[in-house]
Structure formats: structure tokens, C-alpha cells
Structure 1
Amino acid sequence: MKTTIFLLFIAVSGSAFSQSFKYPIMNAQGKTIKALIPPQWKVVDSAYGDLNNDKVEDLALIIEFYAAVKENRAYGDNTTELITELQRPRILAVYFKTGRNYRIVTQNNNFVLRSEEGGAMGDPLRPMSINDNKLSLAFEGGGTWRWKLGYSFKYLNKDWQLTNANNHTYHSTSGEMNDKQYDFLTKKRVVTIGKTDNSLLTNETTEQPLTLKGLRTFTNFKKPWTWELGPDEYL
């Protein structure tokens, strides 16, 4: 009886907690990662590198809440298909190094996939990196058919513009694969079709022009898989 009451209390408490959850505002500045992290959150990934071309190493963080809460997550397009899920929220925060302090430039509560969004492969988050003044995020998941997604953002005109991306799908048994590399600055798409164990000489690669109405930034790109570039083509 006591066990039943205790479990009921946990369920009710968890429900109430999830309904009252609010994302914290990240600390505006600090000298260390520890000084930047809100209580009850932990770092799950970090990267250093020059993001604003001032020859100083900046900082990008992905942090995760300690408990699962109810979140409305976008699927399909950015607005019409929302699914409520119970999972641990994640935040992407980017800081520029100014003097001895890191100063926040961006806080994004939506774009980073959660630990339960990778399908049979588990947590889809892969290590992020900073190279050539670009912040690159990577995800991988699926089951028999698997996918790898990569996105590179650059700080342009006081926003984070998506400059490059890739969408790689493959069959875990047959090795059948389809790889798409996007360059949004040159407006080109390179598509490779074939097998994962074949050389580039035997796979078929074509270059195609990209016709887009507008480019994506952290402001208007809700999360992976929600940008419909064309019929049956999502990124």
C-alpha cells in the first residue's frame, strides 16, 4: 500500500512538474563553464574555437536538464505537426570570448535533438565542432534504415546562418545509401547514390542547383527534419 501511494505521488509530482517547467535564461557571462550552467542542468557536449574571426577561442555548450518533462516537439514542418513527448530538455548556448569572460550570443532551446529522438540507435547527438568560424552539429539515428545529419552555422549579420548541411541515409544490412551534401552559399546540392562499401568511382554522383525561397537560421529552423526543401526531401 505504501509503495502504491509513493508511486502515485511520484506520478502526480512529475506531471505537475512537467506542466510548470520553464527554460532558464542562460547566464550572460562567466569565466568558466561552471559559472555559465544553471542549477539542475549538466553539460553533455562542448566545443572551443573561433566563431567571430577575432583569433580568440569561443565556446559552444549543449546542456541537459536532470529530469524528463513534457515537451511539444515539431515534426514534419515547423508549426503544424507537434507531438508531446516526455524527455529531458536540451539547450544550445554559444558564447564569444571577450577579455577573460565568455559572453552569451545565442541560446537555442529547440534545435538540438533529445536523447530519445534517435530511434533504435539511442541518443542521436554526436560531438559538435568549431572549424573555419563555423559551428557544426551532428546527429545519427534510425534502425534498419539509418540516417546521419550534419549542420554548419556561421555568424553572419548578427544571426546564425546555415551555410552547409548533409543528409546521409543507409541500410544497415544491404549497404544501400543516399548522400546529399548542401552548400547554401553557392546554392548547390551534390547527391551520391550507391553502396557504403563501394568506392567513389562506382557510386553515382551528380551536382544539382538549389532553388530556395530563403535561407535558414537558428531563428527560423525549428529542429532537424523540419525543413522541407522539396517533395519528400527534408533536412
Structure 2
Amino acid sequence: MKTIKTIALFLSLYFSSSAQTVLSNIPDSGKTIAAFIPKGYDTIGIAKGDLNKDNIDDIVLALKYKDEDTFEMDEEPKRILLVLLMSNKGLKVIGKSENVLMCRHCGGMYGDPFSAMDITKGVLSIHHYGGSSWRWSEVRKFRMNQNGMSLIGATSDLFWSMQACNGSEIGDAGRQFRDVNFVTCDEEIIERTVECKLIKQVKQKIKRRPLVKLEDFNFEEEY
């Protein structure tokens, strides 16, 4: 058992180190999107929109290792998120991370959890979805400030997908919903039993704290 744990720890450290090496080799600036895509990687998502209010569309890339399908769970190279600002001189990296995008296996029976990525009114939203009988979704929102890109919002939803509540659409049974705005400090929580009984529904204020930078964010942690 000790040997197995040692091997698992080694693999985790190896692929984390490999991803960090890939990140460090990504150029700070370039003329084209292709200039920022590391060898052996490909895009799984591209979002365009104005992040810094200069009326020029910026670009966010979601990248995966091309052969990630050949790896077992917890062994595949981490996916990479790149935030690129566009100007008349070209593209510049203002944010990059290996811990924002979930792994291919993280969706469980549902499969690849990466669902969508968009930029709306200067806010980058990243959507993940997964599960089987119990379905879940995660949305994380980032916005540019003087420190780069920071987490400003998070929405998590979990529900039992095998039944509806009182003829309504599926999504209320066993629901565990949380939405939080880290700028206004507003939080909403909804909890129901599998039998659809409402346990908790509240809107409240949370304690203000420094915004989490994109580089410090980890999808495995709760914020």
C-alpha cells in the first residue's frame, strides 16, 4: 500500500511539474494565437470579448494535451487556461493557470466536464458540468483588475436528476445550490431533500476578503 501511495504521489508531482514547465515556456507576447499554444497541445475552447474596456476583443484559450485520452485519471497532463490581451502591437499574456480547468475524467459518468467559456460585459465565465444520477454544475467568473484576473463570482449546483418536484422541471430534487458574488459579498443558498422538501433558502452577506487571483485559484477548492 505504501508503494502504491508513493507512486501516486510521484505521478502527481511529475505532471504538476510538467505543466509548470509548459506554462513557463509560454511566451509573454506574440502576434498570433498559435504563438501561445505549446507543442503537443490543442484548443478545447476559445472565448473572445473586451476584458479591459478598450473596445478591442481580447482572447482566452482553454488548452488540452492532444493525447490526454491515452492517460488514466489523475495521470493526464493538466489543462491550461491562457488570458491574452489584444492591442495594436499584438497579444500579451495577463493570466495563465493549470488549475482553473477541470480534467477530462472529472465529469464522472457524464464524461468531459468542460462545457463552455464566454466573455460578457468584461467578465470571463468558465462552465463545467458532470455527474450521472446526481448532476452538478460549476461556473467560475473572473474579471480584470489592477492585479490581473481575479475570481469575482462562483455558482455551484447539485441535484438528483431521476425525478422532478411537483411536476416542475428536473433540478429541484436534492438540490444543493450556492451562488456568491465576491465583489458585493452577496450569497444565495438553496437546499432541498431528494423528496423535494425545502430545507434552506437564504440570501445573505458574507465576510469581505481579498479577491483570489486567477494564478492562485484551484478548482478543487471551495471559495
- TM-score greater than 0.5 by the shorter chain: yes
Q: CA deviation at 1:140?
A: 0.9
Q: CA deviation at 1:206?
A: 2.3
Q: CA deviation at 1:194?
A: 5.0
| Structure with greater strand percent | 1
Give the direction of change, closer, same or farther, for the CA distance of 1:93–1:205 in structure 2 (3 Å limit). same
Corresponding residue of 1:94: 83
Stretches of structure 1 lacking an aligned partner (at least 5 in a row): 1-14, 72-83, 228-234
One-letter identity of the residue aligned with 1:45: G
Corresponding residue of 1:180: 178
Q: CA deviation at 1:68?
A: 4.1
Q: Deviations over 1:51-97 (max 9, x none)?
A: 0111110000011112349x9xxxxxxxxxxxx82114211001100
Query: Quick one: distance in 2 between partners of 1:215 and 1:155?
Result: 11
Report SS of the residue matched to 1:120.
helix
Query: Quick one: distance in 1 between partners of 2:56 and 2:126?
Result: 20
Query: Quick one: distance in 2 between partners of 1:125 and 1:212?
Result: 30
Q: CA deviation at 1:188?
A: 1.2
1:162 aligned onto 2:161: no
Q: Deviations over 1:134-157 (max 9, x none)?
A: 111111112221110001111112
One-letter identity of the residue aligned with 2:207: T
- TM-score, length of structure 2 as denominator length: 0.76
Corresponding residue of 2:35: 35
Q: CA deviation at 1:180?
A: 1.5
C-alpha contact (below 8 Å) 2:94/2:148 kept by paired residues: no
Query: Quick one: distance in 2 between partners of 1:103 and 1:34?
Result: 13
Q: CA deviation at 1:36?
A: 2.3
Percent identity of equivalent pairs: 23
Corresponding residue of 1:140: 129
One-letter identity of the residue aligned with 1:23: V
One-letter identity of the residue aligned with 1:92: L
Query: Quick one: distance in 2 between partners of 1:179 and 1:167?
Result: 6
| Structure with greater helix percent | 2
C-alpha contact (below 8 Å) 2:126/2:140 kept by paired residues: yes
Query: Quick one: distance in 2 between partners of 1:225 and 1:170?
Result: 19
Query: Quick one: distance in 2 between partners of 1:159 and 1:103?
Result: 12
The equivalent position to 1:191 in structure 2, one of 189, 192, 197, is 189
Structural mapping, 1:17-166, within 5 Å: 21=18, 22-24=21-23, 25-68=25-68, 85-166=74-155
